[in-house]
Structure 1
Amino acid sequence: MSTALITGASGGIGKAFAEKLAARKTNLVLVARSSEKLQQLATELRQKYKIQVEVIVKDLTETNASNAVFDTIKSQELTIDLLINNAGFGDYGDFAERDGERQLNMIQLNIMALVDLTHKFLPLMRQRRSGSIINISSIAGFQPMPYLSVYAATKAFVLSFSEALWAENRDYGVHVLVVCPGPTGTDFFTEAKFPQSLAGSNNKISTPEEVVDDALKALEKGEPTVVTGGLANQIIVNAHRFLPRESLVNLVAKQFKGVGDW
């Protein structure tokens, strides 16, 4: 049986990955901050699918958190066949007025932890000439996003980084996939402190399960990138091909400068 490591596994897309992979008889290593949520999920998956589920309670914004995760897995003599870098968060608002430490924590989690974990597990996969990495980006990574400036920039990094790794590692039998969801039914809008008027403005909200289904299908096909959520999201990610960058950024700014209750 193969083993998957999932960060941000206590809810949303990470939890959906855990459930879908468990149903495929994949052993799991679940990483997140919430011990209670992880333990509950692990117990449910062990009982239902008769698989091995390990839990690592760790905040990946902390110094040396990735080292701690890697060392724990190494000490347990586990082989990670699939790494899913899912953990991340956003923050809505005018950059100059947002909390600076939160912006740095976002970069630490969305970029630095992802890069660090990838760099730790990728060489081992190359040595075995097998393995897969799924990095979670966003449709926000395809263009600048005023009022989500740091979040969109981190997701642009993940998109570019992952597609480059896809090309670098094909000859080593290692597949790298970047997943770019649109609005999804998770706690993202609440955690990012979106105005209620904006959080509820999108009629097409994918479920985490739909995102994961699309991701796993793309992984099986060997694709480098998948944009989930249908035609509307495809139009969004290709808008930069048809509009001047200045016009596109102004359009997004008008859309995201929400007026309403927080």
Structure 2
Amino acid sequence: MREKKGETVLITYATSGIGYELGRLFAMNGYDLILVDADSSDLKKTSSEWMKKYKVHIETFSQNLSNPDAAEHIYEWTMERQIPIHFMINYADFQLSGSFLETELAQELEMIQVHIATFTAITKLFIKQMAERRKGRILQVASTAAFQPRPKLAVFHATNAFILAFGQALDNEMKDYGVRVNTLCAGPELSQVKWSAREEVPTWLSEVPMSAQNIAEFAFRRFLDEQDKPLIIPGMKNRLLARSVQFMPRKMVTKVVKKMDEGKGESGD
């Protein structure tokens, strides 16, 4: 593992899900943190808990990533405090499901703002200072949704596909500058899905839900190692599924995931 003394990690959506669990692991291992989230009370609670327990320095910044100026506000805030960012975790727990004819356009545009516009802007701003130092690492958090289209989750899967392509291209581009970009494509979280449709789908095509804690622990190890593996997919079955669907006819993939989606809808998800 890398030398951590004096290194600061910036984490977005840091008070819930994978963002929270990754933050906890970094704090546990002695890294200083900047936690970003929309809810200032959750930020205060989380930072107080970790500072007391892990004896690390933590600063918080309340910001909603759906704000078109969010990335600039975060960057300017760190620059004013002269805090160099050594690691950045771009995470956003944002999902919207339903028929495209019925979902709200405003919510879809908000998701596009968060997953595409804000992710691009915050990466652009901070990766420049990393390149100047010739050292830095970024984790773009997507999901296995990036590997296939899915009816009734069309925009969510499309924005995740962007995060994956963006991260992989940047990693290749930034190697000469000493900066690495990893992309985490996690399967479904146990707390978010019900699997009543499992019997309708071939077993080998069913994703394996994992807890946010287990996803984060796997991602944390891979993110900090020195191996040239830009893509991080927790769970052997999820890795096999992600790779296998790339060789299947897109029509078949869409049909299968539609069955999975319909089953989850019947279960009340």
TM-score w.r.t. the length of structure 1 is 0.91
The answer to whether 1:153 aligns with 2:158 is: yes
Unaligned runs of 5+ in 2: 1-5, 201-205
Q: Partner letter of residue 224 of structure 1?
A: P
Q: What's the counterpart of residue 53 of structure 2?
A: 48
Report the counterpart of residue 12 of structure 1 in structure 2.
17
The letter for the 2-side match of 1:172 is Y
Confirm or deny: 8 A CA contact 1:163 1:224 kept in the other structure: yes
Question: Which deviations, in whole Å up to 9, do the C-alpha atoms of 1:207-228 show, x marking residues without a partner?
Answer: 2222122212222124210111
Q: Can you give the 5+ residue segments of structure 1 that lack an aligned partner in the other structure?
A: none
Give distance in 2, aligned partners of 1:127 and 1:103: 35
Match of 1:142 among 140, 147, 162: 147
Matches within 5 A, 1:158-169: 158-169=163-174
Whether contact under 8 Å (1:84, 1:135) holds in the other structure is yes
Q: CA deviation at 1:205?
A: 2.6
Q: Conserved in 2, the CA contact under 8 Å of 1:180 and 1:225? A: yes
The CA RMSD over aligned residues, in Å, is: 2.0
**SS in structure 2 at match of 1:67:** helix
Structure-1 residue corresponding to 2:203: none
**Cα drift, residue 167 of structure 1:** 0.4
Check the 8 A contact 1:134/1:179 in 2, yes or no. yes
Structure-1 residue corresponding to 2:88? 83
Within the candidate set 72, 77, 84, 2:77 is matched to 72
| Aligned-residue offset at 1:37 | 1.0
State the 1:184 CA deviation: 1.5
The amino acid across from 2:101 in the alignment is A
- Give aligned pairs, total: 254
CA distance in 1, matches of 2:213, 2:259: 31
Q: Does 2:136 correspond to 1:92?
A: no
**AA at the equivalent of 2:266:** V
Q: Deviations over 1:39-94 (max 9, x none)?
A: 01100111112111011011110131111111111111100000100124111111
Q: Which of residues 2, 8, 11 in structure 1 aligns to 2:7? A: 2
Q: TM-score, normalised by structure 2?
A: 0.89
Shift of residue 23 of structure 1? Answer: 1.0
User: Would the aligned equivalents of 1:195 and 1:259 in 2 still touch at CA under 8 Å?
Assistant: no
Q: CA deviation at 1:242?
A: 4.0
CA displacement at 1:195 relative to structure 2:
8.0
Match of 1:130 in 2: 135
> After TM superposition, where is structure 1 displaced by more than 3 Å over at least 4 residues in a row?
194-199, 201-204
**CA separation of 1:195 and 1:19: change in aligned 2, threshold 3 A:** closer
Does the alignment pair 1:102 with 2:107? Answer: yes
Aligned AA (1:217)? R
